[in-house]
Amino acid sequence: MTGKFALILFVALTSSVFAQEAEITLEKIWKSGEFSARSVSGIRSMNDGIHYTSMARDESGGQYIIKHAYDTGAEVDTLLRPSDIETDSLENFSFAAYSFNDEENRLLLATAYEPIYRRSSRANYFAFDMGSGTLAPITDFSLGKQSLAAFSPVGNQVAFVRDNDIYIADLDAGSEIRVTDDGEKNKIINGAVDWVYEEEFSFHRGFYWSPEGTKIAYYRFDESEVREFSMAIYGGLYPQPYDFKYPKAGEKNSEVRILVYDLASQKSRDVRIDPDPEQYIPRIKWTKSDNELCVMRMNRRQSHLEFLLADTRAKSADIPVTRIYDERSDTYLEVNDNLIFLDDGKHFIWNSERDGWNHIYAYALSGKEVGRLTMGKWEVIDFYGVDQENETVYFSAAMESPLEQAVYSVHYGKIFKTGKSSSLKPVQLTRNSGVNTATFSSNYTYFINFESHADVPPRVSLCFNSGEEIRLLEDNQALKSRLEEYKMSPKTFGSFTTEAGHSLNYWMIKPYDFDPDKSYPLMFMIYGGPGKNTVSKKWDYSNYMWHQMLAQQGYVVVSVDPRGTMRRGRDFKHSTYLNLGKLETEDFISAAKHFGAETFVDANRIGMMGWSYGGYMTSLCMTKGAEYFKLGVAVAPVTNWRYYDTIYAERFLRTPQENPEGFDENSPINHVDKLKGHYLLVHGAADDNVHYQNSMEMVTTLVNADKQFELMIYPNKNHFIYGGNTRHHLYTKMTDFIKTNL
């Protein structure tokens, strides 16, 4: 062997060894973007179902909206380009979002975007006419920013909300109509929803054009009697208070009315539903007609759901309703956006857990059940919609395992002829393991499949509705190649049986250089809340890399789904009803005992980290489970359900007046005397969701009990504690705390 060849071989071998031993760092996770996975986003299907649009920028920052063909991805047109919007008065024009009118010849462009809460925002909206190339503001921006701007289905009108009132701008006439005039901050909201509806019913829009554009149905919230919550915002010489209405468990809710505005008469009429604070209106939706509006109504306990059909043709002072659907539960019911009225004007489709598993049903408008479109001891997860021309519904389900998810279709035509649900057979469209989710084109000819696996970065592909793959959109090959340079351990899955006899699923990551004869500390990474799983075969993005980093540094990392989580049927999910925290804590203690009995786990060095509900569970395990957990990191935890909002807390516990024991027996602030281990409490001081109050009350009880702990507060940060260097700082703090104390 020549000296030159030997040197080359030595360099190659040592480079390979070093490449396999690269270490994961927090800087690479949270600063450099070393492990950022690419995806496909911003795609909007066009009306024809064979084209889509996306937003792009050039090197100078100019924005484009480009039209593509689904089947090839080719750019077939540019619908908006910088030259279209470059004017002397609009230099450096930039928009954060866009939407089309129904004819797809006009655009709404949101500029000067400003987020409010989790889903809500305000902006200045411009309308762009693609035919004439004209760009104009929809209203006078000096009057304030707008929210929820939406084109009418016909004509050139835009409705929007400003300062809690609804307006309609006629862009051709250059005129504006004020639909409501009593909007007032922290008092009356028209056309949007209050904080608790936005957070817990997962929507913000509070007005909807009728199909023919002759009417607008809208919400009116009277939150005058709802108590205010105040947060201090820091940064000036004096902190500024931010006040908003937040109904805590057992307190008064907003009174909600539903009204319909008629553009011809320019008058609003109430839908005949009493504005009762002891009920909720979680959705409203027009059928296929301007004459029928469906209003969902729930009682405050959220155990009784009705669909009320309002007849807007009635000449009465208010609009009468007829009940077309009624469902009750001994525990609670949940709502979603899956109500579909069919074009035949006779049927609707809805999904329910009424038989113990989440499935899709067909009903006549009379309220009579026509049949079940899906059935079995498995859960429908996402309902993608109905291709009415081909009588097919599309959905995803955890049919094979609660750890995985595939995309399916089912042809429902027979059910309207025979009424026999057993004749319907779902067809699996995705042909891989892991977790699959889909985005369908408007006519359901194509779907984009987002394929995720536990240890492999996401893969995105375009498929026919048969499931046949057309082309690859993103495989994250660059990230896969980078990960080969790092010391990575596989995420393994399994289950164990608790002392109470329940089988629970888990995943585990062992140290990279795992030695079965050694004993390692163990960290639980958990959530544990109702209807949310952490144990599934999907890519966990930055948290996955943090877990791998801890495994590199000698920790066993585990996650467990306790009772109360989803994908295992209603009984499993609802088992924690009226007593949140009790069964979950028992399950996590059983998990600590189970894994602590493993020869490779040091039972004296078991810790837990969780965020939000996970922070609540961590706090309970560190107190009620103090014998088993030696370290806990609780981020933004609920420490007493009395401090949380009406809709969420009462869904699972009812009110404190009805169920005081359910609120108090498993609130961490009532168990601080049991704390023995190392406890880190983290909160954002501007958390509008789980209020900073939770941690402050926890601090008070810890101090009174003479218990030592660590506290980290992030000023002006909300529930997600992010922005700038915040995430890197937070994960550095948590990592150092774990390494120092476990």
pLDDT in tens, 366-375: 889 999 999 9
CA distance 694 to 720: 15
% pLDDT > 90, the chain: 88
**Bridge pairing between strands 292-299 and 304-311:** antiparallel
Mean pLDDT of the chain: 94
Residue 414 has what pLDDT? Answer: 82
Which pLDDT score is estimated for 5?
Answer: 46
Token pair listed for 565: 């989580």
Q: 274 or 361: which carries more pLDDT confidence?
A: 361
pLDDT value at residue 17: 45
Q: What integer pLDDT is reported at residue 19 of this predicted model? A: 46
pLDDT band at 531 (very low <50, low <70, confident <90, very high): confident
Strand pairing partners for 486? 22
Interhelix angle 726-741/541-552, nearest 10 degrees = 30
Nearest one of 287, 284, 253 to 270, comparing CA atoms: 284
The model's confidence at residue 13, banded by pLDDT at 50, 70 and 90, is: very low
pLDDT of residue 89: 54
pLDDT for res 87: 57
Give the mean pLDDT of 139-153. Answer: 97
681 is written with which tokens? Answer: 């409490």
Is the pLDDT at 10 greater than 50, yes or no?
Answer: no
pTM: 0.94
Please report the pLDDT score of residue 335 as a whole number.
95
Mean pLDDT of 31-51: 93
The Cα–Cα gap between 239 and 237 comes to: 7
Q: What is the pLDDT of residue 88?
A: 54
Instruction: List beta partners, residue 606.
Output: 522
| 693: pLDDT strictly greater than 50 | yes
Q: How far is CA 575 from CA 203, 375, 592, in A?
A: 27, 22, 21
Residue 86: the pLDDT is 57
Give pLDDT, residue 16.
Answer: 44
User: pLDDT digit string (tens) for 543-572?
Assistant: 999 999 999 999 999 999 999 999 999 999
Mean pLDDT in residue range 264-274: 95
Q: Give SS3 for 294.
A: strand
Helix, strand and coil in the chain, % to nearest 5: 20, 35, 45
pLDDT over 50 at 300, yes or no: yes
Q: For residue range 719-733, what is the model confidence (pLDDT) as tens digits?
A: 999 999 999 999 999
Residue 592 has pLDDT above 50, yes or no: yes
pLDDT at position 91 is 57
Q: Name the band, by pLDDT with cuts 50, 70 and 90, for residue 343.
A: very high
CB atoms within 10 A of CB 331: 18
Judge whether 684 and 719 are in contact, CB under 8 Å: yes
Which 8-state DSSP code applies to residue 192? B
CA dihedral of residues 604, 609, 613, 617 (deg, nearest 10): 10
Helix ranges restricted to H, 624-676? 646-653, 660-664
* From 144-158, 418-432, 478-492, 618-632, the region with the lowest mean pLDDT: 418-432
What SS3 state is found at 142?
helix
pLDDT at 381: 97
pLDDT tens profile 315-336? 999 999 999 999 999 999 999 9
Angstrom distance (rounded) from CA 544 to CA 35 = 10
* Strands (DSSP E) found in 246-367: 255-262, 267-270, 279-286, 292-299, 304-311, 321-328, 340-341, 347-352, 359-364
